[in-house]
Structure 1
């Protein structure tokens, strides 16, 4: 046995070749870097600019902008349409108001014209009636008829008829005035109305209505107190009161006033009985 066999070895274990080569490579790289830096001297390293590419969003953005523009245009169109509708409604309301005011004005004008025409017709009718009675009276008086000078006769009426006749006879000689209702001037219907009012009978105001106020009777069957009328029933232009004895009392015209005359003086067209 060798004299060294029992002495343990102080040598380190051999590293594997791969590890040795790795270490050598690292060391060489470090030394190379140091060498390059030393050769470069104190020169400062230039800053490194790095360009970062952002994701492309152009397609999606265009679609969003287009949709927003369409929505804005639609809102603007709606607002414009609403404004046009409001303006049209305001114009229509103004036109309707103006048309209504014009219609009211025309209706009032028509009403006034009708009232004026009616008043004119009534005035013409009264004038015609007065002229007719005046002409008839003048013609009769000029003929020398004895009936024009007939003296008033006493009536044999009784009751309400007597009161009506007494009132009418008491106003013989009063003036005739168109539209007169007393106490000292009368037109024909005003005198008849006032006479019957004394017995509580309220007659219409005008001749036309008084000629249909009672029961139609024949001129051959007259009784004191009957209302005589001249013209048609419902369209009479003159009225008087039959007092009996073939005579009547009536407010004839502005020339004669209230008179009591024979029926022959101015023959009536018909008669109505109220009492």
Structure 2
């Protein structure tokens, strides 16, 4: 069996794969139907579409964040019905620098599946490389044998993050844009600011101007400087709703800095409880 791709895969590498399970995760927070519409206009041959709100999230309660994780067994069963097999290579892509594809990447690792990677450069990279495209959805597949196995990634609750304010056992990294982290603007959630003590690492900082990820070496240098003396396994990532925080998890893993954690509820869950503290202002040294 060939060595699986576990973080990123390039367009030429994807084109050479035999029978990958490809998923279009395109989305737009401001226009929830935009991803599905883009998929209908053109997608990578054989790709299925999974919607962030409908397929990759559970129902919202008003207290569990904007994109709560679905039940893991139910999600594993869905993937099996869609034709996924054990050990099959999964490739997730979007049209936004991987910012939504990383959600599926993390979730599959959460379900114990190692062979999952994000298409580096996404749809634009695929098109630039001359990749084929199709309009019609793929034919219905026979169910696969995918089942859930022990998680390859860790998740923490709001209570764990709250405890960390007292015991300082973890470094919290916020993947949102600096102005949202600082509480200067908040276009989505009802409260601006960040979790006290959290550092800001805007997820788009992981990318080069062409939308592909920076090299392993550059990512490792940047995260090593950011973490200072922290062990990668003691890092908790979050963002607005547990989606782009996965971008930083992937970037660290791609750089060989494995074991960091995700707070899936993220800021949207944190700020839903007025008893949880809020900080404002930028990380020292930012402008």
Q: TM-score range by the shorter chain?
A: under 0.3
Q: TM-score when scaled to structure 1?
A: 0.22
Q: TM-score when scaled to structure 2?
A: 0.21
Higher relative contact order (CA 8 A, sep 6+): 2
Q: Kindly indicate which of the two structures has a greater share of residues assigned to helix.
A: 1
- Whichever of the two has the greater Rg, that structure is 1
